[in-house]
Amino acid sequence: MVPWALLLCSLPLSAFSKPTKTLGVSPNLLSKYVPIAKTNTWKCLDGSKEIPWDFVNDDSCDCPDGSDEPGTSACPNNKFYCQNEGHIGEFISSSRVNDGLCETQCCDGSDEQPGVCPNLCKEIGEEYRKKRDAELKLQRAGAKVRSGYIAFAHQEKKRLQGEVERLAEEIKAKEKEVDRLQDIAERTESLSQAALEHKKESPLYKSLIIHNNALKSLQREHKKHLEREKALGQILDALRTGYNPNYQDMAVLEAVRGWEELAKLPHINDVGKDSEAEKPSENESDEEEEEALEEGMWDAGQLEHQLDGLISTDYLSLLLEHEEYINGPQEGSILFELAAYLPDSFIPVYEDVKDTLVSWLQKFGIVRGDDGAADSSRAQQAYNDAKNELDRMRTELDTKENDIKEIFNINGFGAKGEWKKLDGTCLEKDTGDYTYEVCLFNEVKQKPNNGGTTFSLGKFESWNPSSDVQPGQPEFYQKQVYKHGTRCWNGPERNVVLRLSCGVENALLTVQELEKCEYEITGTSPALCLPPEEDKKNGNGKKKDEL
Amino acid sequence: MRSWSILGTVALLLVSDSWAFKAHDFKTCSQSGFCRRGRALSARAKEAKSSWVSPYRIQEDSINISPSQAVFTAAVKGLYEEINFGLEVRIQDDGVVRVRMDEVGGLRKRYDETASWALIAEPVISEDIKWAKSKGATRATYGQKKEFEVIVKHQPLQISLLRNGKEQIVLNGDGLLHMEHFRNKVEPPTSTEEPEPVEGESAEEEAGTQKVLEVKTRPTAWFEGETEDALFEETFSSWTDSKPKGPESLSLDINFPNHGTVYGIPQHATRLALPSTAGEDPTFSDPYRLYNSDVFEYLASSPVSLYGSIPLMHAHSVDSTVAVFHVVGSETWIDVSHASDKSTQTHWISESGILDTFLLPGPTAEDVFKQYARLTGAPVLPAAWSLGYHQCRWNYVSSDDVRTVQKRFDEEDMPVDVFWLDIEYAEDHEYFMWKEKNFPDPVEMTNDVAANGRKMVVIVDPHLKRDDNYPAFKQASELGILVKPKSGEGEYEGWCWPGSSSWTDFFNPASWDWWKGIFKPEGNPDKWTWTKSTTDIHIWNDMNEPSVFNGPEITMPKDNIHYGGWEHRDVHNINGMLYSNLTYQAVAERTNPPMRPFVLTRAFFAGSQRFGAMWTGDNLGTWEHMAVGIKMVLANGLGGLSFAGSDVGGFFGNPEPEMLVRWYQVGAFAPFFRAHAHIDTKRREPFLLDEPYKSIVKDILRLRYTLLPVWYTAFRETTVTGMPILRPQFIMFPKDKAGFDIDDQYYIGSTGLLVKPVTEKGATEAKVYLAEDEVYYDYLTNQAYRGAAKGKEITVPAALHQLPLFLRGGSILATRERPRRASSLMKRDPFTLKIALSKSGSARGELYLDDGESYNHMQGDLIWREFSAKEHGKHGLRISSADLAAAKPDEAVDGVALKTYNPANEFVKSVADVRVEKIVVLGLRSKPRSVKVQGGGELVYEYTPGVAASDKKGGSPSVLEIKDPRVLIKEDWSIVID
């Protein structure tokens, strides 16, 4: 375009003390701030324009890239470099030059007119070094713990590898056993099928099956109702604790009051924290008042824990036992002993039933009865159990092999496995109203200190998901994300961002709900303490962050 | 188990009930007894047509005309022969006509103190204007050319203001004047034939089925109707208003026979040119309502009342602008209709109070604003920092949160002046009392913010939690200054954020010193004061309608009792203004000498402009609300409240990035610029945005900061003239009919900036209306557009990063092009002058500066300059700076008429070295041969050829950039371009 009319004149230089030509220039650019000797001009760093050398740092913006004003605020979006002799040089935004404030990043005071800001670099530098030393000390201490974590990861790997080997052996053995049992089952089955079918026509057996189906249906319906009740309770709990006491909505208030009465909760004050201490005792006394049970009736606890066992009773086996029982005692027979024992365990806990049957059936492999149908069923059962066990072992093997891989996965427990030690470690922070529990790599919970519902704030989702950060970088492990916690009333699911930094302890420092249902928890862990030497090696200009 | 299922149903209902405007919380006209009666009266008049004659008439023998002043008084009779009224008509020295009427010798007294709260001083009555009584009417003629005439017709009573023989404003022209006299409740005679309506039947049904046969028995029935409708006790929803004083409503028709467009009566979410509510095919079925209300999620197009009320209506035509200021503090409904497109009829129905109406004759909009400012005061000059960007959220949760937010703004180099704290800073919502767990160090936190040249604003709401450990409540309770329930005894208890609360009665003078004392940070040995604060904390007054969650229409019962025994119904609309008024004084008086306070209020009334800023309340994050917010801010400006804005981003909801960017563009061009968000929303501080949105918003913030001198200069003007800062088309071009309905573009003061914010999703271009044959320069690209004398719509690029912002040819802007962290850090920065030459090759502009926070400007510590660019020689241009303060000291600042101006005052000394660093001239005809400071040397410049301002076409204009002329702001100088 049209060049500057280079009519230099005697500009009225008022009170301005003219900055030196290289004020604000960073060391690596210093060599560029010299005039072209012949013309006494200067080229903007982007090469777009040639201006008189006098225009450099004259507090008036000439270059499109702002490079002619490294030491003033004349060009927006510029960077000003403070030498900070005795400390560490630092860039500040040009918008902070000559604004009347002494920038902490500019301890030499070069960002303001001479005389405005004192040079504090000596003091600040010293303070910084002290602080840095303290940090290094802490980092070293943390790094020691961390190396312990790494060692643990290696041990853990070894241990797991050992288990994998053992499991592999066991699996081999089990495979053989399964083969054998399968063979037996197949052979017995062909003999006894017809006999078994006949026995199944027994009215008693048929009736039992009907009872069983009815029980199953009842249980299904019961569970459905329980879940519904629980969900409703949660909705109302959330309403009770989460409602904004007055969106001018008296209907909400009524609903809360009604719920409190029904659920025997104390009345929640609108600010939400008074008087919850009364709650627990009330609840207990209340349960005592429930109706007395008839003889032999199950209480709620039994229903919850033992019904499954009852329903999954192997009726076929029972049928066979029944027959043996009816057919009278056969002295000296092991079967008799078992049959005599079984009726007593008619209502045992599920595990007992299972164990008994298993042990009984194991023996069956040795002692053959004279009943073909029973034989067949038992042989089949033995085979099934062995096969299930084999599957379980294979899954376990897979899991363990996977665990071994995870230990040194950069997306998992870190390249060095330094986080493995903390897998499932739970940290707590009491903030007065609530205790926050972070179980690393698992779940974050908010537990009210004065009674009420514990909410999940989220399950472990990932390390720092930011696309700016690569897995394996130190920043990657400074942030964990927990997602899909309990849904807020009329709101989103609760989520947590856990921000961690190097510290000798595994501890939580602060908990804040920065926006509704979005929690930010800060904490420390030695797992983040790189040995200072290693840190330097990584040294991607970290110096600045630490100032 | 059954109770379970019932509860389940309740929960499900709650979930499905979406949060939205709850129409059932607020009355329609038909649910309000006096409004129903008022509209029924209007309906009867319409039906009667020409046979309808107002029963109100002047007793001719009672007429008294003041010999020394333009005061006319007379006795008036109305519907009831035994009831007497007194009428007074005064003409003020500025030509404004005040009409007052009250019942004389009535059973009780009507509330007559509204004007004492709204007016800044008792208006001066003219001593020159004389009334002349003639048969059937009394008249007064005045004005320079005797162009104004006031006619008081005696029978029926009718008062008209005329200009050049044309009726401007007519009172009772339709005969709807009715001042219901006080009466005792008459128990209806027990009759077996006419059973009383069953208790519980809704009032509407009563109104609908009142064709009773007793026509002959009530001589007043032709006027008042055949049955008494809700004269005493009245029930709405679950609340019963005891109405112990019985009926006392006031109905008045105010007509503008020669004005087809009316504006004003804020606050309503609707178009600036008020749509009709009555007559043929009205836009709204209900009248506009003025009854300060906390409306949850208000609608974007509705006549329902909102948070504030200003009973001032402007009427406009190509011939003149006039206004009516109807000084009533009680609930008021206003019907608007048009018999033709050239006239407007309005009907004002108020629940109580005397008739006290000012007729503002204009005849120009400037005159009307001046006349209104003389009545209620001009807007106060705000602290300069309060024109910066305000960052608010419900809630920044801790002092560390505040520090982090500040840090993030600084990291992104985004300017911001103020961080705000909403109600959650306060323990149990006891204002002043910090939640210590989260804000353990409020003073240090504030100091950390102030260390960067910034301020804090903290909310203080008017409800006081009833807790004896809460000093504010305890002190107020002990002083006996709380609002009383209808019994007149004890303390009214209502429900608000803290739960059970009471409200200070600021009508009680005993509350004033108490409230002012409570804000003192330095403490007081005798009583508790807010020592955990600093003078860098300013105040936000919310919920001052007052909002009462369990009250009728979310406010106080009307039969509550205030100081002097007045009912809340009498003072409801004034209540919120008193609160922000007292807070304003309290904050100012924390220091000696006082410093300019910043107080944001939600509720307001006529006069609130003297106490700071308002915002449009709890808007929604929708495009509709973004658009209507602009109209509401414009309407508030017409009502005197120029320092106004809407919450950027919308209070409710999570705006998508595009919407947020557009909203920042809207906010940056409103006088009050604050982003705010509801507690349930995601965080949306501008530094959280992704690119490109983040950079766009950063540029908008910086643009605002470069223009701060322009805003401040515009504020100076409004504090002196009362002219709104945001000026819609009809003010700028009063004769251009095409502009009367335009309310989506506006000018900023007399700076020449024209802005048309984009409020549509996905827009890439915008249409802007240019009403004159003048050149307009795109502010950001310099592109020139040429308007046309008959009006012209231009299409301009308006992609997301673009903003239709124009500088009108003939304007000079003084900006500071070095946006910094906070406005206070820009005080010593140099200025850039942008000169947009008009088609005739000239331009002018102003700059006003003072220290921005003290009251020293009232002693003359200020700079007020005029920049002009005029033709010089044949093709040259002379740019000069002249001292306006020295030329017109009496017009420099509001409130005092400076006799002289000292150009070497303290403020000038403090900015002695502040210079002009750059001058940009748009639209020169040709490349200069020389650019010189007069009496100085040649200047360095760069010239880009292009379209000249005098060319009759648009395009890329010629641009002259003068490098650093080093001329000082404080001095007169000239720069000559040859």
Q: Could you report the per-residue pLDDT of A307-357, keeping only the tens digit for each?
A: 887 887 777 777 777 777 777 655 444 444 444 444 444 434 444 554 555
B199 among known catalytic residues = no
- The whole-angstrom distance between A534's CA and the closest CA on chain B is 28
Q: E-strand spans in B412-512?
A: 418-421, 455-459, 463-465, 494-496, 499-503
Q: Hey, which residues does B499 pair with through a beta bridge?
A: B496
Q: Are B353 and B114 in contact (CB under 8 A)?
A: yes
Q: What's the gap in Å between the CA of A137 and the closest CA on chain B?
A: 27
> A512 CB near a chain B CB, below 8 Å?
yes
Beta bridge partners of B139: B132, B151
The pair of three-digit structure tokens given for residue B563, joined into one six-digit string: 């100081």
Average pLDDT across chain A, whole number? 80
Instruction: Give which of B373, B460, B450 is closest to B419, Cα–Cα.
Output: B450
The tokens of B373 are what?
């400012």
Q: Do B940 and A9 touch (CB under 8 A)?
A: yes
From the list B498, B819, B915, which residue is nearest A76 (CB)? B819
Please report the pLDDT score of residue A245 as a whole number: 59
Partner residue facing B437 (CB), from A96, A244, A432: A432
Tokens of B294: 């906390």
* Dist. CA A213–CA B316, nearest whole Å: 84
Mean pLDDT per 10-residue interval, chain B, length 978 residues: 40 43 89 97 95 97 95 97 97 97 97 98 96 94 96 97 98 98 82 48 45 62 92 93 96 98 97 96 97 93 96 98 98 97 97 98 97 96 98 96 97 97 97 96 98 98 97 97 97 96 98 96 92 97 97 97 98 98 97 96 98 96 97 98 97 96 98 96 95 97 98 97 97 98 98 98 97 97 96 97 97 98 97 97 97 96 97 91 95 86 95 97 95 93 95 94 96 96
User: Quick check: A284 pLDDT over 50?
Assistant: no
Chain B residue numbers touching A15 (CB-CB < 8 A): 912-913
CA distance A285 to chain B (A): 20
Sheet holding B494-496, edge to edge: B463-465, B499-503, B494-496
pLDDT in tens, A506-543: 999 999 998 888 999 999 999 999 988 766 655 444 44
B672-690 pLDDT per residue, tens: 999 999 998 999 999 999 9
Identify the residue among B403, B959, B963, B968 best suited for mutation to test binding to A, counting A beta carbons within 10 A and taking the highest: B963
CA distance B17 to B10: 11
pLDDT-derived band at A177 (thresholds 50, 70, 90) equals confident
> Nearest Cα to A160, choosing from A391, A402, A392, A418?
A402
Residue B827 and residue A100: Cβ atoms within 8 Å?
Answer: yes
Q: Which of B451, B826, B944 sits opposite A2 (nearest CB)?
A: B944
Specify the 3-state DSSP secondary structure of B407: helix
Q: Record the tokens describing residue B633, joined without a space.
A: 């801010």
Gap between the Cα atoms of B37 and B180, Å rounded: 11
Tell me, yes or no, if A545 comes closer than 8 A to chain B by beta carbon. no
Nearest CA in chain A to B550: A248
For residue B411, what is the nearest residue in chain A, using CA coordinates? A93
- pLDDT for the residue numbered A516: 86
Q: Decide if B226 is catalytic.
A: no
Which is catalytic among the residues B505, B542, B744, B861? B542
Backbone angles phi, psi at A378, to 5 degrees: -65, -40
Task: State the pairing for strand pair B784-786/B792-797.
Answer: unpaired
Alpha helices by DSSP H, listed for B669-752, are 693-706, 708-721, 729-732
CA distance A447 to A451: 8
Flag whether pLDDT at A193 surpasses 80.
no
The confidence score (pLDDT) of residue A547 equals 37
Q: Output the CA torsion sign for A421, A426, A431, A432.
A: negative
CA distance B578 to B347: 28
Record the tokens describing residue A384, joined without a space: 């099934």
Q: Round to whole Å and give the CA distance between B160 and B610.
A: 31
Work out the angle at residue B855's Cα, subtended by the Cα atoms of residues B849 and B859, and round it to the nearest 5 degrees. Answer: 80
Interface touch A258/B828, C-beta < 8 Å: no
CB distance B11–A255 less than 8 Å? yes
| pLDDT value at residue B206 | 44
CB atoms B829 and A515 under 8 Å: no
CA–CA separation, A278 vs A258, rounded Å?
A: 18
Q: Place A254 in a pLDDT band, splitting at 50, 70 and 90.
A: confident
Catalytic residue among B167, B545, B829, B861: B545
Two tokens at B593? 């000498």
β pairing state of B959-963 and B940-944: antiparallel
Residue B145 in contact with partner chain A when CB distance is under 8 A: no
Q: Token pair 């004033």 is at which residue?
A: B512
User: Are B10 and A255 a contacting pair at CB < 8 A?
Assistant: yes
Task: Select from B707, B821, B691, B827 the least CA-distant residue to B414.
Answer: B821
A residues 260-299 lying closer than 8 A (beta carbon) to B: 262, 269-271
Residue of chain B with shortest Cα separation from A99: B825
Decide if A258 and B10 are in contact by the 8 Å CB cutoff: yes
Residue B18 is predicted with a pLDDT of 44
Which chain B residue is nearest to residue A232, measuring alpha carbons?
A: B8
Q: Is B254 on the interface with A (CB under 8 A)?
A: no
Amino acid symbol at A75: C
Helix/strand/coil for B645: strand
Highest mean pLDDT among A267-271, A401-405, B306-310: B306-310
Chain A with chain B: Cβ pairs closer than 8 A: 152
Tell me the shortest Cα–Cα distance from A326 to chain B, in angstroms: 45
Contact yes or no for B825 and A99 at CB 8 A:
yes
B698 CB within 8 Å of a chain A CB: no
The residue type at B291: Y
Here the contacts of A197-204 (C-beta below 8 Å, separation 24 or greater) are A197/A373, A198/A373, A199/A319, A199/A320, A199/A323, A199/A373, A200/A316, A200/A319, A202/A319, A204/A319, A204/A322
**Residue A466 contacts B, CB cutoff 8 Å:** no
Beta-carbon separation of A95 and B942 below 8 A:
no
Question: Which residue, chain included where needed, has tokens 């610029």?
Answer: B673
Mean pLDDT of A214-239: 88
In chain A, % helix, strand, coil (3-state, to 5) comes to 50, 15, 35
Collapsing DSSP to helix, strand or coil, A12 comes out as: coil
User: What pLDDT is stored for residue B702 in this prediction?
Assistant: 98
Mutant choice from B429, B678, B964, B967 vs A, greatest count of A C-beta within 10 A:
B964
Choose from A1, A10, A11, A264 for mutation: most chain B CBs within 10 A: A11
Position A467: which residue type?
Answer: S
ipTM of the complex: 0.86
